Structure 1
Amino acid sequence: MRTKEDRNSKSQIPNSKHTAPAGRSIQKGRKSKIQNGQCPAWAFRSLGFWILDLFGIWCLEFGVCPGLGTWNLEFPRLVLVFLLCLCSVAPASSGSWHVPGAVLRFTIEADPNQPQMPAVDISGKKRAEATWSGGYYRIDGKTYKRVIPMACPGKASYACKEDFRRLTALIGVREDAGESAAIVFEVWAGPRKLYSSPPLTRHAPPIGIDVRIPPKTKQIQLVTTGSDSEGHRWAGWVNAGYQMRDDHPRVGYITLPVPGFDASKYEVVVYNATGSRIVSTRLGCPHEGQVEQLFFGGQGWSTYYAYWVPKDRYEPEPGKWLPNAGLVLETRRVDKSRQRACEDLPGFVKTWNEAGQIVGRSFVTGIHHGSPVHPRLIDAGEDAAAKNSLALYRYTGFFEADRAGEYVFATASHWGSHLLVDDKPVVSWPGNHDHREGIRGQKQGKVVLQPGIHKLEYFNYSPWGTMLTLAAWQPPEGTLGVMLDSDFPATRGYVVTDVEYGPAAEKNVCYTWEVVDDWRLDRDKVALIRMRFRVLAGRGEDGRVGLAPPKSESGEAPVGQAPPYRWTFDDGVVRTGATVERVFLSSGKRTVTVQRLRGNQVLAETTQVVQVGGLADKIWVDPRDPQAFRQEMAQIDFRKAPIGDVVRLHALGREMPEPTWKDTAVQILLERVGELMAQPQHQPLCLELGQHLCSAAVQQYDQALSLYTRLQEKTRKDTPLRQQTMVLAGEVLLRGLGQPEAALRLLNQARWEKAADKSWTIRLGLARAEVLLATGDMKELEAQMRQLQELADRQDPRRQAVRHAGLLDQASRLARQKNDPEQWDQALDGLQAMLQETPDVVLSPRLNLVRLDLHLARDENRIARHLAERLAMLEMTPYDRAQVLVRHVQALCALAEPESAKKVLEELTAVYPNSPAAAQARALIVAAVTKTRARNQ
């Protein structure tokens, strides 16, 4: 980054109203370059680029370098580097600001990934005259019309005329391509390779290419190499075509990062490299700390300067410039009571003008959206209220009619829509409806147009949180198709490549942020957001834009390198470096502070509220690079993170699933359970934590009971959560701790609490029935069983009996033959579902024998022991009793209680002396005694 104080001298720019006064320099004690007889910076830079262009054409034309007989790679490389350095002298060193009162100056250049729409189609026809096949192509979630689809490997040749100067296109791989497909795109002119892309996959965003065509080129070849697509045309060349010398975009657009500034107190002024002011207008503020600006791009400059000027020093432009290219979407919000007023066009326009809240305003690539673009700009608190509101959408764009004739326009939308051309209604589809009746172009209108630029407006209203808008058009002798980016040409995107600071902003750090990717649970439910934050480091600081400097052992930046940067996020996470990445567990506003350091000294600091949200145009559930998310998550210390983030981590770990995330969250939540209980919205999660403590892998029944007891104290009386807590605590007392009397007192109390639903009423009755069995209160047990019979769901008893028999057989086989904890869990869940449907079978010997087997297989020996003790109170056949007793012995032996096991063996021998179960029990006891003696020795 450069400040105005850092530069050695300042020069005046000819033909500029905003220059330093003659005879003065902005830095004291220095004379301007013009006074010293030096050439202005802009002229020096233009001369360098002119020489560079001439040299490049020479090399491409003749394949040789001056002074060399054959082509040599090293010499031209050195010369090109020298010329590039020559061209960089002016912007990297000095030159006065066109607006001395500005606080920031941005150098903006054409974005290579947003190439200008070509004037001539790759077929050689003018873009407006080129025919469209009628097919669509989706790359990285976006839809395109004019695409050259190719298989891989593949080759296509196209004629090239002498006045074609450059080839532009957007390249990418179709979203339905094979997962392992990796395709390289190449451009050739005869034997010379002009361009080669990195390998692209279906998850990679498209790349823009802008290739200079050598003079006298007769043919251009588009080539694809890499993975064999087996005939599938996965490679797409979007909007491929030729640029001629005088092809320039009418409108350029740029998003300027201005963190730490109140955008309402500043204006943007744009200049070109020759010092001429360029007309511009502010489109809007897509996020806090960012400004989107439109400016006139018809002069064809690749580099401009944008100044951030306080309003009290801003000189307005004469007149008002109205952009006549591109497409802008604006979203507003009104009360739902205004719905009827929007059904006709005059009412919609009136409602729009009276709408108080502008949600968002931004450039879009077409009128084709299936989900809201702007609601993610509203924070969580407002969004809850907005759901009962009405969303108003308005597209404003400019398209070109290449010939006179009758044009057809159509609409398809969720709820009412209106389409206007040159402020005149063409087609309306009012009322509350879905899009299906218009998806094939049924709702259309016609208008006669003359050649030239025409204005298009599209209005739509729908319930907040929903959006489906689609506009289509059909030129004379053309095909009806959705209006996409190729229908709104003559625009060009720009990016910031350098920033300089005025004296008023020397303590600021300018940085950018962007959403790199998101990870979703489903198409409309964003789970994780991966963002990149980057300091805009100017060339005056380290010669490289945005590169993180290496650090010395003392923490000081090495001599000649840019000072390090420290990022502090509102969740306590700290990162260092000029470029950092973060993964956020939810959308919303985040406060980010970046400091520019020299050792321990803070040289500059900026704090900005940043909006975190998913990618509006993405349809993929999975991220492009899951490992990048995992690596970032591993760096977060969730012990210090807000409790809401830990809860979110637990939910994501369960639903994605990512077991490591879930296990980490569970351990931290148990350590911070007090914070969890203090927030009512998180209290239901405590029930899940208690069940985790009771799981086969943990078996911490005392800790689970303590958690339930604390939760019971925190919850309000007569609430479903309170009853659920008491039921679960009663189950722990009965099944895990063997305290039926305490369990009965708690469950009796739970009967008077409000039930969540019928399933919890049944679960309470089942637990109470088992408690009554354990205490021997047979009279009360009979009453409880009658209540359970009334709750039983017997809509189809025969089919239900067959299904339950199958569940029992499957669970029995899994307990005896399998060694899979997940299948054992599923078997127990099946038995629990069976009890919910027919709760009166809770005392069935066969059902409980299977339960015993499953608990023993899961090493839940304490639960098996207490269950066997309860079953001893049941009346059953000698065979069934013997089976229960041998399992009781097995549980006691596993608990290292052989003496207690011997007493059960005596009962077994008395009940069924010659049964195989008795022999099995003796063998278990002998093995347990032997194991105990070996352990003692």
Structure 2
Amino acid sequence: MKKIFSLYNRLFYFYLFFSFFASGMAQSWQESSAPCRIKIKKSSGPWPCHVGYVEIYPGFEDTKGFRLYRNNATEVAYKILWSKKGEPIKILFDCSSKDKEYYLYCMPKATPGRAGWEPKAGLFLWTKKRPEGAVDNLAQVKELWQRSEETFGASRVPMVFHGVHLHGDSLNFLSYYLGYLEIPKEGTYSFATVSDDASFLLINGKEVAAWPGWHGPHQGLHGEYSGDISLASGIHKLEYYHVQGLGGTTAVAAWRQPSEKRWRLIQPQSFLPVASFTCAFAETAVGKKQKTFFAWQTTRHLMAEKNIALVEMLFQIPDPIPQHRYVWTIDDGSKKEGEKISHVFLRPAMRMIQLEVWQGSQKLDSVWQKIHVQPKWEQINLWDDHVFLDYTKQILEQNLMKIPMEDFLYLIQFACSVKAIKWLDTLSATSLLRAKEYKKEHADTLYALALACQEAAISQIHNTKQILELILALPAEERLSHQARLHLGDFLYFIEGKAQDAHKIIQGISPSYLSLEERGKLKILQAEILFAENQVEKAKETLFSFFTPPTSSSFSLQRAGILEKARLLLIQKKIQDASEILKEWQDKNPTERLYPDTLFVDLKVALANQEYARALLLCQKLSQLVSLDKERAWVLYYLMETHKKAGNLKESQEAMQKLLKDFRYTEPAAMAKEKNS
């Protein structure tokens, strides 16, 4: 076995040796303290250029800085455009020598690049968090930029033409663009800005176009906010400041060259070109263990409300070695194999990825890397139904019992936001199976799940009750405990028809812990329980103490129209539509719960939905509110029908006998005879 392992190692290092030297003699090692170096080579873009751009994927934890060399061992100046833990390091460097290959040494100590070099080409964007302050002139905006303490990100961009924030949520941020224009001929140039909220365009440090203050973009679409400047042919610096508050974001820079009459966007080719480079492979110093590194990128995301997103990422080996297996282990328990893999993360955060390199049965290398998983902010469409269907299949078919609790709770938030019944059914069932794992701080997420399940009317409806009971058992904080008891009482009464149990669970609920809407819900539930206890006047008093009946002249007409529409929907077998329209009407006008004609329609809906416990409560309530013989007969008829459908044959027979005895000559009695003949 040792001989075989030795042979594998020789073949492995021979492959590396061949890769490094196949295209010519490799550069000698320039930095003795550097444990490794990365070869970068030109990949795309115009050529020749004075500035190069490369993204380095950190795979060496002890790296504190860089040194960059040409093939002839001459050191090259560079600047780091962006560096943040778990993200690719974006580097700009001097490629005016026209070399297409360079070596980047990973240094164990901080080593700033050569002083005095500035990347005067391309167009780059930095964004920061917006502090509070006025934006009525350039000086104020510059002061905000200096005062902001949080930088969201930096990117190479083709134009000042954005309708999204490239580095985060498109609210409350500052943008600063810096680029170098190549002016073809001398003359007077006009520049314009179009933006949502304040923007300022500068050429060579001079303010040329400005649109200060808080505003939308529509009043500036035709160059209303512009200015002129005389420019000689050659290179000129463009700067653009943009402030975004609330609402949609817009940042556009346009120009009109000499002799032109129409405004045009400042196109990418108007800026000095920047060449794109890529990482070819990593190489370790003599005597050091060979290191493997990998690249990654966000390919798409699916975003619900409040920026709750599922994020798909691609991981790949830049220079895979034949006969080697690459095994990836992700911190959510997933394990995949291949030179390139895709994975959907259930929670954006700093995540841990392990890559193992195998040859046969021997493990050659193992790399751990923290990855900052975040949405693809530049993605225009936050939601795509096809992607949602794809993710539904991928996610709900996996073993949700084994994913980390943080991921599971985040997935619950996503499901609550999109209100998809299949997701809520699956997650509510799994949440109960994971009951022993919850802590007090998880109660809010479970409560949101219970409410979402209740609102969406999931098929596993009793999961709602068990989740609420689970919250009370944690125990939850006082506020949440009172809210959960209210909704549990609501479930016990309206779904299970257990008035006594509902009364018991809501006793002692303090309205001070409830929202105004929840206080109204409590009053309605208290009134319903009083009806169930035959305390009619007290029930009415409870309802009227919180709600005032509508008095407008048009209300009765509106009311008649709503009830008639619900009846027609029931005739058309559109039960869900009838249920929704009636619920919305009663929620909007809670005193409608006292009127028999509304309650009769509601009773029909309950029977059609097979909600027999609620139907029985409605029959009991109606028996206390109606006085006419015809109405009393109908109550007995529906009581008979409800018991019959619920399987309570004895009670059904008793209701029919009372109907035939007390109201023998009514339409309901005739219908009962015909049905039971």
With 602-611 and 746-755 compared, the bigger mean Cα shift is at: 746-755
Residue of structure 1 aligned with 2:55, choices 234, 255, 258: 255
Map residues 12-51 of structure 1 onto 2, 5 A cutoff.
Answer: none
Write the distance in 1 (CA, Å) between the matches of 2:635 and 2:74. Answer: 95
Write the distance in 2 (CA, Å) between the matches of 1:676 and 1:805. Answer: 50
- Match status 1:899 vs 2:650: yes
What secondary structure, in the 3-state scheme, does the structure 1 residue paired with 2:380 have?
coil
What secondary structure, in the 3-state scheme, does the structure 1 residue paired with 2:328 have?
strand
- Post-superposition offset of 1:398: 0.7
What secondary structure, in the 3-state scheme, does the structure 2 residue paired with 1:660 have?
helix
**Aligned residue in 2 for 1:727:** 486
Q: Is the 8 A contact 1:253 1:292 kept in 2?
A: yes
Q: Which amino acid aligns with 2:40?
A: I
TM-score, length basis structure 2: 0.85
Q: Is the 8 A contact 2:30 2:73 kept in 1?
A: no
Write the distance in 2 (CA, Å) between the matches of 1:446 and 1:810. Answer: 64
Q: Which amino acid aligns with 1:756?
A: S
- Match status 1:791 vs 2:548: yes
Q: Which amino acid aligns with 1:576?
A: E
Write the distance in 2 (CA, Å) between the matches of 1:766 and 1:346. Answer: 58
- Post-superposition offset of 1:574: 2.9
Instruction: Write the deviation string for residues 151-192 of structure 1: whole angstroms up to 9, x where unpaired.
Output: xxxxxxxxxxxxxxxxxxxxxxxxxxxxxxxxxxxxxxxxxx
Residues 400 and 586 (structure 1), Cα distance of their counterparts in 2 relative to 1, 3 Å cut: same
Q: Is the 8 A contact 1:646 1:668 kept in 2?
A: no
Write the distance in 1 (CA, Å) between the matches of 2:81 and 2:335. Answer: 34
Q: Which amino acid aligns with 2:445?
A: H
**Aligned residue in 2 for 1:681:** 444
Q: Which amino acid aligns with 2:568?
A: R
Write the distance in 1 (CA, Å) between the matches of 2:83 and 2:416. Answer: 37
Q: Is the 8 A contact 1:652 1:662 kept in 2?
A: no
**Aligned residue in 2 for 1:531:** 313
Residue of structure 2 aligned with 1:778, choices 526, 536, 542: 536
- Match status 1:323 vs 2:119: yes
Instruction: Write the deviation string for residues 537-595 of structure 1: whole angstroms up to 9, x where unpaired.
Output: 44xx31xxxxxxxxxxxxxxxxxx113322222x3333333322122344332222323
**Aligned residue in 2 for 1:811:** 566
**Aligned residue in 2 for 1:590:** 351
Instruction: Write the deviation string for residues 197-251 of structure 1: whole angstroms up to 9, x where unpaired.
Output: xxxxxxxxxxxxxxxxxxxxxxxxxxxxxxxxxxxxxxxxxxxxxxxxxx52332
Q: Is the 8 A contact 1:331 1:374 kept in 2?
A: yes
- The number of equivalent residue pairs is 665
Q: Which amino acid aligns with 1:727?
A: L
- Post-superposition offset of 1:698: 4.1
In structure 1, runs of 5+ residues without a counterpart are 11-26, 28-40, 42-87, 117-246, 377-382, 543-560, 927-937
Instruction: Write the deviation string for residues 674-704 of structure 1: whole angstroms up to 9, x where unpaired.
Output: 62764243143254267379x584454xx75
- Post-superposition offset of 1:526: 6.2
- Post-superposition offset of 1:485: 1.6
**Aligned residue in 1 for 2:105:** 308
Residues 375 and 706 (structure 1), Cα distance of their counterparts in 2 relative to 1, 3 Å cut: closer
Q: Is the 8 A contact 1:651 1:662 kept in 2?
A: no
Write the distance in 2 (CA, Å) between the matches of 1:924 and 1:506. Answer: 88
**Aligned residue in 1 for 2:40:** 108
- Match status 1:369 vs 2:194: no
Map residues 494-893 of structure 1 onto 2, 5 A cutoff.
Answer: 494-502=277-285, 506=289, 508-521=291-304, 525=307, 527-538=309-320, 541-542=321-322, 561-569=323-331, 571-598=332-359, 602-623=363-384, 626=387, 628-634=390-396, 636-653=398-415, 656=418, 658-673=420-435, 675=438, 678-688=441-451, 691=454, 695=457, 697-698=459-460, 700=462, 705=465, 707-712=467-472, 714-717=475-478, 719=479, 721-747=480-506, 749-750=508-509, 752-757=511-516, 759-787=517-545, 790-794=547-551, 797-818=552-573, 823-893=574-644
Write the distance in 1 (CA, Å) between the matches of 2:326 and 2:652. Answer: 70
Map residues 223-262 of structure 1 onto 2, 5 A cutoff.
Answer: 248-261=48-61
Q: Which amino acid aligns with 1:511?
A: F
Q: Percent identity?
A: 20
- Post-superposition offset of 1:395: 1.7
Q: Which amino acid aligns with 1:290?
A: P
What secondary structure, in the 3-state scheme, does the structure 1 residue paired with 2:365 have?
strand
- Post-superposition offset of 1:515: 1.0
Q: Is the 8 A contact 1:329 1:394 kept in 2?
A: yes
**Aligned residue in 1 for 2:4:** none
Residues 838 and 442 (structure 1), Cα distance of their counterparts in 2 relative to 1, 3 Å cut: closer
Q: Is the 8 A contact 1:588 1:612 kept in 2?
A: yes
- Match status 1:447 vs 2:229: yes
Residues 521 and 923 (structure 1), Cα distance of their counterparts in 2 relative to 1, 3 Å cut: same
Q: Is the 8 A contact 1:270 1:304 kept in 2?
A: no
Write the distance in 2 (CA, Å) between the matches of 1:605 and 1:104. Answer: 16
Residues 504 and 855 (structure 1), Cα distance of their counterparts in 2 relative to 1, 3 Å cut: farther
**Aligned residue in 2 for 1:281:** 79
Q: Which amino acid aligns with 2:118?
A: L
Write the distance in 2 (CA, Å) between the matches of 1:608 and 1:868. Answer: 65
Write the distance in 2 (CA, Å) between the matches of 1:4 and 1:409. Answer: 63
Write the distance in 1 (CA, Å) between the matches of 2:392 and 2:435. Answer: 25
Q: Which amino acid aligns with 1:563?
A: R
Write the distance in 1 (CA, Å) between the matches of 2:225 and 2:274. Answer: 30
Q: Is the 8 A contact 1:845 1:876 kept in 2?
A: no
With 248-257 and 598-607 compared, the bigger mean Cα shift is at: 598-607
Q: Which has the larger radius of gyration?
A: 1
Write the distance in 2 (CA, Å) between the matches of 1:331 and 1:458. Answer: 12
Residues 392 and 3 (structure 1), Cα distance of their counterparts in 2 relative to 1, 3 Å cut: farther
- Post-superposition offset of 1:859: 1.7
TM-score, length basis structure 1: 0.63
What secondary structure, in the 3-state scheme, does the structure 2 residue paired with 1:594 have?
strand
Write the distance in 1 (CA, Å) between the matches of 2:222 and 2:472. Answer: 59
What secondary structure, in the 3-state scheme, does the structure 1 residue paired with 2:59 have?
coil
- Post-superposition offset of 1:652: 4.1
What secondary structure, in the 3-state scheme, does the structure 1 residue paired with 2:379 have?
coil
Q: Which amino acid aligns with 2:381?
A: W
Write the distance in 2 (CA, Å) between the matches of 1:585 and 1:315. Answer: 38
Residue of structure 2 aligned with 1:405, choices 176, 179, 187: 187
**Aligned residue in 2 for 1:393:** 175
Residues 352 and 899 (structure 1), Cα distance of their counterparts in 2 relative to 1, 3 Å cut: closer
Q: Is the 8 A contact 1:649 1:662 kept in 2?
A: no
What secondary structure, in the 3-state scheme, does the structure 1 residue paired with 2:650 have?
helix
Instruction: Write the deviation string for residues 463-505 of structure 1: whole angstroms up to 9, x where unpaired.
Output: 4998543222222123422224222142222223433344586
